Structure 1
Amino acid sequence: MEMVTLNDGNKIPAVGFGVFLIPNDGATYEAVTRALKAGYRHIDTAAAYFNEAEVGKAVKDSGIPREEIFITSKLWLQDYGYEAAKKGLETSLEKLGLDYVDLYLLHQPYGDVAGAWKALEEAKAEGKIRSIGVSNMTPKIWKEFVPQFATMPAVNQVECNPFFQQKELRALLAENDVKIEAYQPLGHGDETLLSHPDIVKLADKYGKNPGQIILRFEVQDGLIVLPKSTNPQRIAGNIDIFDFELSDGEMDSLRTLDTGKNGLVIGLVGIALGADAKHP
């Protein structure tokens, strides 16, 4: 597994396992257990996913030393504000069964962002969080909130894939070495992306599937990726991307696939399931 060094000096595995929309009926426990057995050492959850407890149990039952697993969770809107954020973090730690999380994010930029961020900064100083970051911040929102922070975020977790490469945001974040964590790195499983001729051609060349080509492109381009699946073959395949390397020309070719537009599926999911499920 390749590691990425964050701007606070901490290291994060380049590929993580996301658990957005995996139910807390045993399915999350099973999926995380399977992912850890497949070699993942980076698990991404959130208070709003309602499955932190199953993530924590799977990590504990794995027998893998805690320090070898990078765990992310996120603070949801009802816990924004200084005092509320401190309580929200404690709730997440309790559900996860952990003394600390490796990365803790503000899940959405809304309400008392500055107060919540101050609480995260203090929790980091206390050792309850190793790294702190944000999620779903566009360039406009980043410029509105981040100048209020005493500490620069280590990451911004946003939707990012070959059809939506976030070039403006990436240029802005690069000024302070802030890394992008890409959710929906396979573009909502969009067949238009997975069957794109340029990607299929590379899959044939390297003996990989289209999803592996996409994830390799993203990691090689400096992203931290968070593919999600409950399919055993895909779970294993999504991490099997470190035995080949795309050429400079192939990377440039895939960069031309950018449309500058994000997907619509996640918004429809949000409408169907309510605001808490609207965004990873």
Structure 2
Amino acid sequence: MSLPKSFHLRTREGTIPIPSVGFGTWAAGEGTWAKDSVITALKAGYRHLDCAWMYGVDQQIGAGIRESGVPRSEIFITTKFWPHFSHPDNVELCLDKCMEGMGLEYVDLYLAHWPCAWKATTREALEKATPGGSPEKMGALEENGKPVIDWEHSASHLAKLAGKKGSFVPTWKAMQACVTKGKAKAVGLSNFSIPEIEELLEHAKEIPISCNQIEVHPWLPQNDIIAFAKKHDIVITCYSPLAGQKTDGATLLKDGTVARIAKKNDMDAGQLLQSWAVQRGTIPLGKSQTPSRIASNLNVRKLSDEDVKALDGLAQPGDSGRTVDFREKWGVDLFNNN
């Protein structure tokens, strides 16, 4: 049986379709991985690309779109700004840089990558900044090798936990201005918890919070925040839908239950996990460099209630999908950094 090809995404004008399976472009690495994979994905039938300034592959993505022959109007494109663009004066600048890199006149969805803001060095530095390397090379102010957190423009929930005062509302309004100017059809969030979303709800009546992108997979089902999002008509897009590797080497792709259910349904493991995500009403953003897996990840199919329940049973309480990688990568303790 088939699953939905798209879901409804709220915008200022009403709703627009967002394809129910997206192709992730994060961690593309060196070489032409991103361009080649985007071409393969689009030719396989994907019409949803998930991008971000921090991924550093905007030019490759743009080249892939053009070489694929698929019209821009048929592709749903998401991008995101990194924390040092979070000051309201710099939100639009990051979007402009992303659009310039990809050769676009607009994006379909523009997200705040994290609820935490960093301080930038100078506007000029941001204008010249390229992703990768140290925070300073990206135009982010740092002290003792750590980015300096801009508590004033961080989500109030995070700031309060650190004994500070802050608000993401001014940044959110700058994001909404990108919709008003026609540079984005919709705006949303990424890695925001329920309290961090709640801060913005009263400021999202005319131009809504369209999406929250979070880590989701059977080990980390995020049931509470998904239920909250559905209550407020916020689409959930899921990064790392196939999960990563644990410290003991275990992977969800090789989990015994996943293997058994995949075999039963004549699927590979990735196809099964993507199907589970869509069946829950969420949008998986899997990625691969292998053409056959790129194709199978798109070919989602409806699972039996028994199989869904078995995958739901893999949840491991205590696992956390938010801000952990952020802290480990940058050495930032969000709650004890001045």
Mapping for residues 97-116 of structure 1, pairs under 5 Å:
97-111=103-117, 112=153, 113-116=168-171
User: C-alpha separation between the residues in 2 aligned to 1:17 and 1:72?
Assistant: 10
Deviation at 1:3, TM superposition (A): 0.7
Q: Which amino acid aligns with 1:232?
A: P
Q: Could you list the per-position Cα deviations for residues 160-203 of structure 1 after superposition, in whole angstroms to 9, with x for gaps in the alignment?
A: 00111101111211221111100010111664422333322221
Deviation at 1:13, TM superposition (A): 0.7
> Which residue is equivalent to 2:254?
195
Q: Which amino acid aligns with 1:236?
A: A
Aligned pair 1:176/2:269, yes or no?
Answer: no
> Which residue is equivalent to 1:186?
242
Query: In terms of mean alpha carbon deviation, does 38-47 or 79-88 score higher?
Result: 79-88
Deviation at 1:74, TM superposition (A): 0.4
> Which residue is equivalent to 1:2?
5
| TM-score using structure 1 length | 0.89
Q: Could you list the per-position Cα deviations for residues 66-85 of structure 1 after superposition, in whole angstroms to 9, with x for gaps in the alignment?
A: 11111111011121122211
Q: Which amino acid aligns with 1:203?
A: A
Decide which of 51, 64, 69 is 2:75's aligned counterpart: 69
Pair 1:7–1:30, CA change in 2 (3 A): same
User: C-alpha separation between the residues in 1 aligned to 2:107 and 2:181?
Assistant: 12
Deviation at 1:122, TM superposition (A): 1.6
Q: Could you list the per-position Cα deviations for residues 108-150 of structure 1 after superposition, in whole angstroms to 9, with x for gaps in the alignment?
A: 1023232222122122122211111100011232234444545
Q: Could you say what secondary structure the match of 1:7 adopts?
A: strand
Mapping for residues 19-38 of structure 1, pairs under 5 Å:
19-23=25-29, 25-38=31-44
Q: Could you say what secondary structure the match of 2:185 adopts?
A: strand
> Which residue is equivalent to 1:153?
209
User: C-alpha separation between the residues in 2 aligned to 1:105 and 1:220?
Assistant: 24
Q: Is the 8 A contact 1:194 1:211 kept in 2?
A: yes
Give runs of ≥4 in structure 1 deviating > 3 Å: 144-151, 189-192, 260-264, 266-272
Q: Which amino acid aligns with 1:45?
A: C
Pair 1:247–1:257, CA change in 2 (3 A): same
> Which residue is equivalent to 2:182?
127
User: C-alpha separation between the residues in 1 aligned to 2:29 and 2:77?
Assistant: 18
Q: Which amino acid aligns with 1:256?
A: G
Aligned pair 1:49/2:106, yes or no?
Answer: no
> Which residue is equivalent to 1:15?
21
Pair 1:20–1:194, CA change in 2 (3 A): same
Q: Is the 8 A contact 2:241 2:284 kept in 1?
A: yes
| TM-score using structure 2 length | 0.74
Pair 1:261–1:209, CA change in 2 (3 A): farther
Q: Is the 8 A contact 1:17 1:44 kept in 2?
A: yes
User: C-alpha separation between the residues in 1 aligned to 2:58 and 2:45?
Assistant: 20
Q: Could you say what secondary structure the match of 1:10 adopts?
A: strand
Q: Could you say what secondary structure the match of 2:64 adopts?
A: helix
Q: Which amino acid aligns with 1:28?
A: A
Q: Is the 8 A contact 1:217 1:251 kept in 2?
A: yes
Mapping for residues 81-100 of structure 1, pairs under 5 Å:
81-100=87-106
Q: Which amino acid aligns with 1:128?
A: K
Q: Which runs of 5+ in 2 are unaligned?
A: 118-152, 154-167, 333-338
Residue correspondences, number: 273
User: C-alpha separation between the residues in 2 aligned to 1:174 and 1:240?
Assistant: 24
User: C-alpha separation between the residues in 2 aligned to 1:64 and 1:183?
Assistant: 24
